[in-house]
Structure 1
């Protein structure tokens, strides 16, 4: 009996030691894999999902939560449309390298890359959040929008020159301007993540400084620079609408319409995200759908209202220097009257001198006796006929 009791005591000690060693590892794994936001019951497989699907991806196939499937379909269609437009854009690019449209090729392609990123980011707001997903959300949401609106602002700056003189800054300078505007938001978001994400102890179950534990107001505050770019993309192209050249004015209209619709989308989702969801009692359940809807709707506005018209403009004519008749007419109208009178007097003097010289040349030439002959006078027949 004594031996059995001794063996039981040894076994219990070993079991407690194993539990003690596995305790920190279990807590660490709980901290890494458990989402920061309280999710719905993920133990049961929802209708529409198979047993092999991980719980974090249930929103992509859950038929009871139709918003995820609808947004997934719209985002996937947007990705395919962006890829098709990229192929068409690259195919049409050689046709515009001989006029001023070539200066906007780089920023338009970068704009399309940003739209592709917006549609791809929608899936990060559909799946269940964890530390990595929340970091991607917080960083890329503002950065991708800043990339798109920075391209619109840079293009608007160039259009202000083109619509007046049919000449504008080079494509490299405008590309650097767009990159500079975009990098400001990238630096802001990077600093925001570094400041707010405190390195917390893996053995602790308290998620202090977790990237998913942020207030909605803080998320919106980090996007103030993007809001500035939206207003800039709406204000800067307004003078383009009053310019001389109609082809470049069309580009300005595309940007103004795109910025106006984007501004309305941003006002709507910010009001719902900050105030509406809390008032309606759906703060934890409607936050992700609101942001995903904002991404999808704004992405389609970018494609339909701006990029597709830009691709259509690549197939149009009237941008070449040989068709620059409007510039000549405007310069003639803007010329002072004294210069016009002087030019007319100069032209009349030249005409009088030319007429005098031609008259002298005609008088010096000898006059031919056959000068008035035109071949219409009757002639005698070659062989005389005998009349009866």
Structure 2
């Protein structure tokens, strides 16, 4: 009996050390005793990853909200009409980024039917909104960098919106089909009771299936990355910097996506730690959303109120021209001198003009 107890203790010790493997009968340190156990990760000081991601996501929400207000408020001060036409798409991008920061909380909270459904559906949709806006912006930049004029702003926005709606349709159909397949395809409750209903939960969807449902989002990311390269080769150089912003953002996003997909589909299973699936998704959301803010949103906001070179040239053409009293006097004096000279030439006798032609004075050419 002593040997059996020792073996059970040795086998159970690794499971005890895994995060979330031990059921908590009491509130952890930092959480209120009356708090629903579903939200323990938001305040559990022993598992600091939830608190850290909560703080990072909260700072991102505040930053994105301030940038959105600033971008909308700067609309009357935008002097370049071509930049003004892209503001709608950029605000749409900011709303998608704000949604990514908010979705971090759904990944920190412990899984249930509602949180898992929101993760599975909104993860792809929000990323599709951001990458669709980048694709639409790249499309406009390829026209601007070569012709200095591109499609209208509403056309660029409609392109981003339609590309995002494709992912909405894909995710809706995928989620419904997956749940119906997991539930056995029956309209009524399964015969073996609540255990089969558990398999129909969105939390029971395999990690590989979740990643496979994001193929369209990866395609959008690849299109934005490849489309940013030609935008660096046009003859209107002032648009190239915007292509650099998109290229840097998409390259960082590709690196983040490669890392999280490898960890989510292979790394966690190899280390027998599926409890790190939720932190993997939450870290991905926070990291990629901050990459959007730092490498795309802030540089674009800093460029939005700058005038175009044509407007700067027109402003420098008459730098001292004004409507002051001295300017009016100078103009009137010049006009009066011109009128006097013209009147003197008209009153000059014809004989004097003829003598001057025949015998011009010395030094007259």
Taking structure 2 as the reference length, what is the TM-score of the superposition?
Answer: 0.77
CA distance in 1, matches of 2:144, 2:108: 43
Measured in 1, the distance between the counterparts of 2:50 and 2:225 equals: 32
Quote the residue 1:287 is aligned against.
277
Q: 2:194 aligns with which of 204, 222, 231?
A: 204
* Residue 129 of structure 2: aligned partner: 147
Give unpaired runs (5+ residues) of structure 2. Answer: 1-19, 315-351
SS of the residue 1:212 aligns to: helix
The yes-or-no answer on 1:233 pairing with 2:233 is: no
Write out per-residue CA displacement over residues 300-343 of structure 1, whole angstroms, 9 at most, x where no aligned residue. Answer: 0000000000000113223546759xxxxxxxxxxxxxxxxxxx
Aligned counterpart in structure 2 of residue 303 of structure 1, from 293, 312, 335:
293
1:87 to 49, 54, 69: 69
Cα RMSD after superposing both structures: 2.3
State the partner residue of 1:339.
Answer: none
Deviation, structure 1 residue 178:
0.6
In the alignment, is residue 182 of structure 1 matched against residue 173 of structure 2?
no
What SS does the corresponding residue of 2:202 show, helix, strand or coil? coil
Question: Mean Cα displacement is larger for which, 219-228 or 198-207?
Answer: 198-207
Structure showing greater radius of gyration is 1
Match of 1:124 in 2: 106
Against the structure 1 CA distance between its residues 264 and 98, is the aligned structure 2 distance closer, same or farther, given a 3 Å change threshold? closer
In structure 2, relative to structure 1, the CA distance for the partners of 1:371 and 1:225 (3 Å cut) is farther
Gaps of at least 5 residues in structure 1 are: 1-37, 325-363, 375-388
- Tell me the matched-pair count: 297
Change in 2 beyond 3 A, CA 1:371/1:182 = farther
Query: CA–CA distance in 1 between the matches of 2:138 and 2:362?
Result: 69
> Which among 78, 98, 101 is matched to residue 83 of structure 2?
101
Alignment-derived partner of residue 330 in structure 1: none
Instruction: Specify the alignment match of 1:254 in structure 2.
Output: 245
Q: Counterpart in 1 of 2:11? A: none
Distance 1:241 1:98 in 2: 20
Superposition TM-score, scaled by structure 1 size: 0.72
Is residue 2:224 matched to residue 1:242?
A: no
Contact 2:232 2:243 in 1 (8 A): yes
CA offset digits 1:136-190 (Å, max 9, x no partner):
0000000000000000000000000000111110001111111111111110000
